[in-house]
Amino acid sequence: MNILITGADGFIGRALVARLLRSGVLPSLGDPRRQVVLLDRGFAAPPTDARVRLVTGDLADRDTLREALQEPVDCVFHLASIPGGAAEANFELGLRVNLQATLSLLELLRLQATTPKVVFASTIGVYGVPMPEVIDESTVPGPSLSYGAHKLSGEILITDYSRRGFVDGRSLRLPGIVARPPQASGMLSAFLSDLIRALSAGRSFECPVAKEGMSWWMSRTCVVENLLHAAALSAEQFQKRRVWLLPVLHASLGDVVAAIARVHGEEVLSRVTYHPNPTLQAQFANYPPLRCPASVEAGFRNDVTLDALVQRALDAA
């Protein structure tokens, strides 16, 4: 199997690569055409595995994509994106990477004249704000940020290319994944990761949303397993849907802080203060219950408990 991962040096990409190489999903190097191609703008610590081929460059550059697709691929994990805050700050960049590059990728895959699987990392940002009282698998999207609009457009394109038999697509609407590294990422939801990292490490934290604010939570370990599960779904499971919600944990900031205290000690409770920012509160701490029985029946999973979420959130790739 030849696999392409875009955004391979990102937070989720690095964990997915490590999981693929560790699990033996990729065959051993007997046939040089069997490989995993990692595409990103750069690689901080690239894997040295002989099955890996690195492609460094701009996803939105057609020549870079052609280099990544020198050999026909069987499966693509399309993770690369310009996240919400960065896409709002630079509309042209967000449009070029999040939408135009996705279309270019699909076009090059169509020209392969095969039907590769495409696992697309979409977003819960397709729903926008304010959200309804409950979100389920029939809720109509209404993005309120450009990032959500671009991702929704990508879902539609992938569904149509699948209808035409050009690709075999499956889109996952990912929640905020924790705990991202403490660096500028352009993600407005970064505080959700910062909270877990700071309190788990014994530092104080000023939370920019209210203690009662409700959000959706999933660890990097869990989302990687869901991405791999999406790639493994059978054709019969796509007869009615190609876009999947994930069965997240729905919990308040206070609930997560309490879980951190159970894992790392009660003194955690005295190191957090709450100073709500109305914009962040509305966008990331006002989430309703999410119900996705079809996804659960198809085998998608969450972290089960908040204590497990906290422990897995700090797992290395």
Distance CA 68, CA 4 (A): 7
For each successive 10 residues of the chain (317 residues), what is the average pLDDT?
Answer: 94 94 64 80 92 95 96 96 90 96 98 94 93 95 95 98 96 93 71 94 96 96 96 84 96 97 96 94 91 96 97 84
For residue 144 the two structure tokens come to 């309120």
pLDDT at 186: 60
Radius of gyration of the chain, Cα coordinates, nearest whole angstrom: 19
Kindly list the domain boundaries of the chain, sorted by start residue: 3-177+218-245, 178-215+248-288+303-313
3-state secondary structure of 226: helix
Catalytic pick from 147, 161, 274, 287? 147
Q: Are 174 and 125 in contact (CB under 8 A)?
A: no
Q: Can you give the pLDDT at residue 26? A: 60
Catalytic: 161?
no
CATH class for the region spanning 3-177+218-245: alpha beta
pLDDT at 33: 53
> Taking Cα atoms as reference points, which of 298, 162, 284 lies closest to residue 216?
284
Q: What's the confidence (pLDDT) of residue 190?
A: 86
What pairs with residue 6 in β-bridges?
Answer: 39, 78
pLDDT for residue 231: 94
pLDDT score at 180: 86
Pick the CATH number of 178-215+248-288+303-313 from 3.40.50.720, 3.40.50.620, 2.10.60.10, 3.90.25.10: 3.90.25.10
